[in-house]
Amino acid sequence: MMLLKKLGSRVLDLIYPPVCVLCGEYSAGEHLCPRCAAGLDSLRSDGSQEAEICRLNPGLELLVTPFLYTGAMRSLLLRLKTTPDHRAVDFLADELAQSLADSGIPEVTVTCMPMSKEKLRRRGYNHAELLAKAVAVRLGCGFDGKLLEHHGGLTDQHSLSREKREEHARASLRPGRSDPKGKTVLLVDDICTTGNSFAAAVSVLREQGALRVITAAAAITPED
């Protein structure tokens, strides 16, 4: 099985050559080319906005995000919505798992923000799920994608006021078939902007008896 996976990954490398996941330049098989690796620190989040989002959303206990949603990181995450690039997922999962390990998180059950069935049908995959599964492997923890379910319409959240966004985020989520009772859950998404969606998901999981919910996103939208 592992061999098949490895072979599959080699075949993918032929289709998608091993270039830098950020700039697309040749990178000799590394996730990043030397230039992007040297500039990676400029994309790193310093944690201050995560703290502010937790302050504004009292339901959020701990939010971990390695990167700012800017420049090459923004392009990478936009690309992940149209292409399930396994090397981009690997790179982001490595960084997320490292940031989580640095935060000293306990044994967790990993899950992801669910995607609407309509969107999933159109896109064919949930990029947050790909990321969450890869993070679970790195942390040596289990993944359970059935803790939360998405239901309801596709309202564009950007057109809504803050209050309406919160309401909408909460209304579009419901408990899934798995039971989070007594578990410490790690909830993974690609991007965190206001923390509304995370806060809504955390409240559903807590209502179902989750002991703690830790939230993690690959990137956080910088303040204007």
> Least Å distance between CB 75 and Zn ion?
11
Write the binding mask 49 to 88 for Zn ion: x where contact by CB under 5 A, - elsewhere: ----------------------------------------
Q: Which of these ranges, 9-17, 29-37, 90-98, 151-159, lies near Zn ion under the rule CB under 5 A?
A: 29-37
Task: Please report whether residue 148 would count as binding Zn ion according to CB under 5 A.
Answer: no
Write the binding mask 6 to 25 for Zn ion: x where contact by CB under 5 A, - elsewhere: --------------x-xx-x
- Site size for Zn ion, by CB under 5 A? 6
Please, are residues 206 and 178 in contact by the beta-carbon 8 Å criterion?
no
Task: Please report whether residue 37 would count as binding Zn ion according to CB under 5 A.
Answer: no
Using N-to-C axis directions, what is the helix angle for 127-139 and 86-102, rounded to 10°? 50
Task: Please report whether residue 169 would count as binding Zn ion according to CB under 5 A.
Answer: no
Write the binding mask 91 to 110 for Zn ion: x where contact by CB under 5 A, - elsewhere: --------------------
**Under the rule (CB under 5 A), what is the footprint of Zn ion?**
20, 22-23, 25, 33, 36
